[in-house]
Amino acid sequence: MHRLRVVAKTPETGTVILDRLTHPLLRGPEFSDTLSPILSAIGMDIREAIGFIRDRNLVVEGIVDHYYLSAWSRLIDPHFIEQIHIFPAAGAPSVVTLASLFIGWGIEFAALLDRDPNGNAARDKLTRELGVSEKRAIQPEQAVGIEDLFSEEDFRLLLTSFDPALTINQEERPTNAIKRQRIDKVLLARRFSEEQSRGAVNLNDQTRDRVRTLLNRVLQAFPGA
């Protein structure tokens, strides 16, 4: 391995021969799949080496999405969580980095992004720079963030279980209520997951329909769905 050299070609530096695989110039997301040819040459299949990777992987912006999607699936469509591995990133920009890795390793994936400036920017990078199909760069319909899939009634019940002092105004988006009251999104999502696990959640038809639409869009993003 110490005899390997990497040839990097960028607009800024031109063509440069790098003397090690850990060179600082290889730390950008555009070089995330540098090792792929080496892995292939020695007969290593990254999909087998990484045991948690499945045939269908959904990269989401963070652990909040993981909590909600997992709990909703258990409530509405257990088939979803059995087929889809939810892979939380550390924000919308990290989704792009993970996508670059998955492309290099030949791993099937779709991405779920918020419909906000960061999510929109990540979607554009996925589709325009990485060539990911628009079908696989998923954003919830009529929702800024994943919390907006809750109906006003269901989200009010969740807020009350978390902290009785919290409110949601009439016709206010859950994401706006979170921002207005500076609610910790991770703790709120974890509370919902815990409530669902102990059978204390009963969603109304409006929430169920919105969630079911999203889960179906994710499943349909993969071949054979």
Q: How confident is the model at residue 56 (pLDDT cuts 50, 70, 90)?
A: confident
What CA–CA distances, in Å, run from 149 to 30, 110, 132, 194, 215?
33, 19, 25, 18, 12
Give me the residue spans of the domains in the chain.
6-49, 57-220
Whether the per-residue pLDDT at 96 is higher than 80: the answer is: yes
Q: How confident is the model at residue 199 (pLDDT cuts 50, 70, 90)?
A: confident
pTM (2 d.p.): 0.74
**pLDDT number for residue 22:** 61
Give the whole-angstrom CA distance, residue 202 versus residue 199.
8
Whether the per-residue pLDDT at 11 is higher than 60: the answer is: yes
**pLDDT number for residue 87:** 87
Q: How confident is the model at residue 124 (pLDDT cuts 50, 70, 90)?
A: very high
User: What's the mean per-residue pLDDT of the chain?
Assistant: 84
Choice among 19-28, 47-56, 199-208 with the minimum mean pLDDT: 47-56
- Measured CA angle at 128 (ends 125, 130), to 5 deg: 70
Q: Find the distance separating the first CA and the last CA of the chain, reported in whole Å.
A: 41
Give the whole-angstrom CA distance, residue 20 versus residue 64.
38
Whether the per-residue pLDDT at 51 is higher than 50: the answer is: no
CA dihedral in degrees (26, 27, 32, 38; nearest 10)?
40
**pLDDT number for residue 130:** 87
Of 158, 145, 140, nearest in space to 204 by CA = 158
Kindly state the average pLDDT of the residues 85-92.
87
